[in-house]
Structure 1
Amino acid sequence: MKNGVWLYGLQFFNTVLPLVTLPYITRVLGTAKYGTFSVVLNFVSYLQVVVEYGFALSATREVALISDDENNSEDGLSRIFTRVIFVRFLLFICCFAITFINIVIFNRPKETNLCFFVLSISLIGYVMQENWIFQGKQEMKFISICTIIARIITTLLIFICIKTPKDIVLYCVLYSLSPIIANIMGTIIAVKRYKLRLLRLKMQDIIDALRNGMYVFFTQLSSKVFGAIGITFLGIFASSEDVGIYSAIYKIPYVLMLLWNPIAQIIYPITSKRIVESNYKGYIFIKRIKKYILLLFGGISVLVGIFAKPITAIAFGSDYVQRFYIIYPLLLWMLLGINNNFEGIQTLVASGHDKEYSACFQVGVIGTIIFNYLLIYLWGINGAAMAPLISEGLLSILLHYRVRRVGTFTNL
């Protein structure tokens, strides 16, 4: 309950502040400039997944299951901490090099290239992200405190500094500051609270870290493709205005997902332990929670669907209302995403079946790329709204089948 209160305090800020700043930004930047920002942010979000490299789950599980003796030893938690920081820093260098090559190769306006460069700087914040430690220790209040402070600072600066569409680069700077400020604070707290220190690593330590996070990384990268490939193809086949409209309306189910995320973070360490103790009881626990969560978010989705047009007008402005109807398939996509989290993360990953979970996503991501390419090429923004729903439905079938094929669950 304590963790829930802190994380919902965080999600209150994650939900309310975008509801305050997004209407302002979509109006000030306009559909075209907001579309440009969305395309750049979409590119950097792929790199963010690379830098995080699945440690949000794989390292969290290591911390949650670490023994008391190892936790109190010199090379227990500190060794995990060192591995994660070192591997993420190497990945950050690779990702920044990719951004530089992208800027050099493609002939884009100078303003757009500056946006790419500035938003890529934000990746250094994810190198220092220690949420996996706090989540594994079930001390989520530190995640909340750091993020809330950073968001308040950057939100105030956005209202003070962003006045015209020409301020798009400055908006990228302020957007990048939030993860950097929050994660610097989080690292300082984690180091002091858990007496962390950097240890000398062997090559095998790095290999083990990469191996432990590999399946979750590919799964999260696939998940990012599920949610972001639409903007990628829209940036190729559609106008900046359509990209801006789609990106704005997409934020509505995204905000609902922000309400779900604290629940997922809270129950993941619990489901991990329960499934380790008893596969059957752990799975029954997951099914019971899933039923109530889907009923809750299903009801919210119905209300949002009823008032979709006025919500779009109030949230983003009259320029975005013409495409309000794309919210309907996106709401269904959000519900399937929550269901698939229970089937995949809370069941397969929590029970140590990362490989099986990743395998489902590798098939699903191929379908996602194909569906998005074809539907967006044929129907533009309308196809972009339908493709995630079809792709998530395919993944749902794959995960449902895999859970029942895994040996430890065949008796259910």
Structure 2
Amino acid sequence: MKLNKNALSSKKGVLLKNTVMLYIMQFSTYLLSFIVVPYETRVLGPTYYGKLGVATAIMVYFQLVIDFGFLLSATEDVSRNREDRGKVSRILTAVTIDKIFLTIGSVIVLLVLCQILPSWREDRTFYLLFLIATAVNSMIPDYLYRGLEQMTAITVRTVAIKTFFTVMIVLLLKQPEQYCIIPILNIIGNTAALLGVYLHLYRQMNIRFVKCRAREIWDSFRRSSTFFYSRIATSVYTASNTVILSIISAGSSIGYYTLADKLVTTAKNGLSPISDSMYPYMTKNKDFKLVWKILKIFMPIIIGGCAVVFVFARPLCEIVFGAGYGDAAPVLRAMLPVVIVILPSYILGFPTLSAMGLSKYANYSVVFGSALHVFNLLVLYFTDNMNMVTLGALVSIAEIAILLFRIIVIWKNRALLHVEQED
């Protein structure tokens, strides 16, 4: 049965509100990064900023392990059971217990790796502090707010904590040797955010930790595994490049690559709220026409912006991040295609394919892109062409391949796009 216009309009109103909240949260990251990153690059210098980049890249893997795909699987579960607060409480409890076990395993693995790898050993305290900050951040149940389509509360808390972190970095970080201050402030900020969110869930939303059967905990873990494989595969063509550079290279090149990757990641984060808010909306409403409308509006803006950055990459890096960072421009240019393809790739991924009943192909596309990236890495290695620019180019190739994979799947199953919207 078709949705009447008023019902669909109301649902789009909720979608718009949550998209705006996600954008405020992401824009705060974008704005505050452009305050703190130039400060960090100037105080730390390319070498110490490279250490920060390596730690951040390593934590991507542990973040993925602890999150284990719950941002997608639990969001969908909460969205489907949003009227049943008891069920939502059990989802929260099961996911949290799963994450605690995954955190314990992650700490053990990190300590072992720091003992085995000489290049990690001297910074093991730095890495451990970053892992603690990462684990605390992972415990914040943003999947719950996304599934309930009530992003306002978590957005306010997140923006407040990020503002605190930015101010404290500027006040306390004065020497390169003080780089451990960064994860310590992250721990403090993330802990405050976590406590604030749980207090809001308990007092305002009647959602709390409850008794949960072992079967529910296992089912939550098992259901997220498919999404985990997809997300861990993504790290093969993102964070792995920084780790590889830390092994084959030294000094400033890691800092240059980290800076370019930071800029591209910031652009990606600026676009992800659109698809993040569309995911629960599309799961329930199958409003495929909205996909094409959004792409028509945003793609000309994105392409035009990338063209400007491509032309002025070197002066942009030097003006914003300091005179010593102009050499990051070639890497930035090599990675700009990622920014161009990422919005259609995001929207045609889980929001569209899940609504079509084809979510597994969103995962398959990432595995395909990761496999292609590994093959290309081997080609670079055996031809002795591996450097920061070629690694950046491989990220663009992987993202383009993922988008093409998703387009082909949608085109082959285009009959599903004409399914009537149902209550």
Question: TM-score, length-normalised on structure 2?
Answer: 0.89
Q: For structure 2, list consecutive stretches of 5 or more residues without a partner in the other structure.
A: 1-15
The residue identity in structure 2 corresponding to 1:140 is M
Does residue 91 of structure 1 match 2:132?
A: no
| 1:183 CA drift (Å) | 2.7
Paired position in structure 1 for 2:180: 169
Equivalence for 1:4: 19
**What is the RMSD computed on CA atoms of the aligned residues?**
2.1
Aligned mate of 1:337, from 330, 342, 347: 342
**Residue 385 of structure 2 is aligned to residue 378 of structure 1:** yes
8 Å Cα contact 2:349/2:362 also seen in 1: yes
* Corresponding residue number in structure 2 for 1:217: 228
1-side partners of 2:82 and 2:157: how far apart? 27
Whole-angstrom CA distance in 1 between matches of 2:122 and 2:222: 39
Q: Alignment partner for residue 400 of structure 1, among 400, 407, 414?
A: 407
C-alpha spacing 1:249/1:127, structure 2 compared with 1 (3 Å): closer
Give the counterpart letter for 1:245 in structure 2.
Y
1:261-280 CA-partner distances (Å, limit 9, x unpaired): 222222222211122xxxxx
| Structure 2 equivalent of residue 279 of structure 1 | none
- The alignment status of 1:353 with 2:353, answered yes or no, reads no
Match of residue 43 from structure 1: 58
CA distance in 1, matches of 2:177, 2:191: 24
User: What are the superposed Cα offsets for residues 274-323 of structure 1, whole Å, 9 maximum, x if unpaired?
Assistant: 22xxxxxx333222222322222222212222322221001221211023
Whether the 8 Å contact between 2:92 and 2:209 is mirrored in structure 1 is: yes
* Cα displacement (A) at 1:336: 1.6
Aligned counterparts of 2:190 and 2:299: Cα–Cα separation in 1: 30
Question: Which residue does the alignment assign to 2:8?
Answer: none
Q: Offset of 1:89 from its aligned partner?
A: 0.9
Supply the distance in 1 between the matched residues of 2:205 and 2:88 (Cα, whole angstroms).
8
For residues 210-289 of structure 1, what are the structure 2 equivalents within 5 Å?
A: 210-275=221-286, 282-289=287-294
Identify the residue that residue 4 of structure 2 maps to in structure 1.
none
**Which of 56, 70, 74 is equivalent to 1:59?**
74
Hey, what's the Cα distance between the residues in 2 that align with 1:395 and 1:258? 18
In structure 1, runs of 5+ residues without a counterpart are 276-281
Between the aligned partners of 1:133 and 1:67, the Cα distance in structure 2 is 9
Moved more, 345-354 or 35-44: 345-354
Of 6-15 and 233-242, deviating more is 6-15
Shift of 1:47: 0.6
> Following TM superposition, by how much is the alpha carbon of 1:371 offset from its aligned partner in structure 2, in angstroms?
2.0
Partner of 2:216: 205
Q: For residue 314 of structure 2, what is the amino acid of its counterpart?
A: K
Worse-matched range after superposition: 80-89 or 333-342? 333-342
| Superposed displacement of residue 325, structure 1 | 2.4
After superposition, the Cα gap between the structure-2 partners of 1:329 and 1:32, relative to the gap in structure 1 and judged at 3 Å, is same
Q: CA deviation at 1:225?
A: 2.5
Does the C-alpha gap of structure 1 residues 58 and 381 become closer, same or farther in structure 2, counting only changes over 3 Å? same
Report the equivalent of 1:106: 117
Q: Counterpart of 1:79 in structure 2: which amino acid?
A: R
| Count of paired positions | 402
Change (3 A) 1:175 1:379: same
Residue 80 in 1 paired to residue 94 in 2?
A: no
TM-score (norm 1): 0.91
The letter of the residue matching 1:394 is: A
Asked whether the 8 Å contact 2:115–2:121 carries over to 1, the reply is no
Asked if 2 retains the 8 angstrom alpha-carbon contact of 1:39 and 1:231, the reply is: yes
Q: How does 1:360-375 map to 2 (within 5 A)?
A: 360-375=365-380
Give distance in 2, aligned partners of 1:53 and 1:89.
Answer: 12
For 1:254, the aligned partner's letter is T
- Equivalent positions of 1:286-325 (< 5 A) are 286-325=291-330
CA 1:111 to 1:153, structure 2 compared with 1: closer, same or farther past 3 Å?
A: farther
